Amino acid sequence: MFLKKQVSVILILFISSCSEQNSAEHHSQVENELIALSTVDASILQEIRYTGTNNFLGRPVNGYKDVNDILIQPVAAQALKKAQAELNDQQLSLLVFDAYRPQIAVDHFVEWSLLSEDTLMKAEYYPDFEKPELFEQGYIARESSHTTGYTVDLTLIDLSTGLELDMGSPFDFFGPISHHGAPGLSPKQELNRILLRSTLEHHGFTAYEKEWWHYRFVPVVE
């Protein structure tokens, strides 16, 4: 019996080690595929929120130190370039907050969620939820599609004013008002969200229903 237990423990440790190694190799491969968004289209505006304090943690996020350009998969960058050209004709521009997100940043979100006393940004970003509920409600995940480099968080800018279009809630606001089709939006706010969604979907992105800013590019497999 003791020998069986030893073998079981060894197998669990071996499987766990292999899983961690495979995960590290996968993320390393993804990082090697990424490019800087500005090298594809420098006209696309960027505001990398997780490098500073203007985010739901209220502090820089692990993995974003010295990041000064959005990293993204090449095909997703090309799709954004096409969307940008369409929007420029309407005196609008994309403003990208995030794309590739390293796993260390996702892990930082999880660690932050365990600090119940840290409610620095609660009133601004998640007033109606406690931290564990953010996972239950689907606003934060322990595994994120952002780690693939195909997912982007973004909004629209009016080039004539330099201001963001009113989407009815700020980026990363965790609550029903951020859902697509949320009640209580003004007609203009609804139209702004529809414009962003229709433009991105036209160029191969799919929306996440709980976050108006979150889109994932789906590569076409031939």
Choice among 31, 86, 124, 211 that is catalytic: 211
185 DSSP 8-state letter = -
Look-up: residue for tokens 């800087």?
36
- 98 near 48, Cβ under 8 Å? yes
Q: Does position 221 have pLDDT exceeding 80, yes or no?
A: no
CA 216 to chain centre: 9
pLDDT tens digits for range 100-121 = 999 999 999 999 999 999 999 9
Residue 117 appears among annotated catalytic residues: no
Nearest to 131 by CA among 100, 176, 171, 139: 139
Predicted confidence (pLDDT) per residue in 121-131, tens digit: 999 999 999 99
CB-facing half-sphere around the CA of 202: CA atoms within 13 A: 13
Percent of the chain predicted with pLDDT > 70: 85
Can you tell me the distance from the alpha carbon of 68 to that of 40, in angstroms, rounded to the nearest whole number? 15
pTM listed for this prediction = 0.86
pLDDT in tens, 34-44: 999 999 999 99
What is the pLDDT averaged over residues 145-153? 98
Q: Which one, of 147, 145, 151, lies nearest residue 204 by Cα?
A: 151
For the four alpha carbons of 73, 75, 78 and 79, in that order, the dihedral sign comes to negative
DSSP 175: S
Domains and CATH numbers, the chain: 34-217 (3.30.1380.10)
Phi/psi at 203 (5° precision): -110, 25
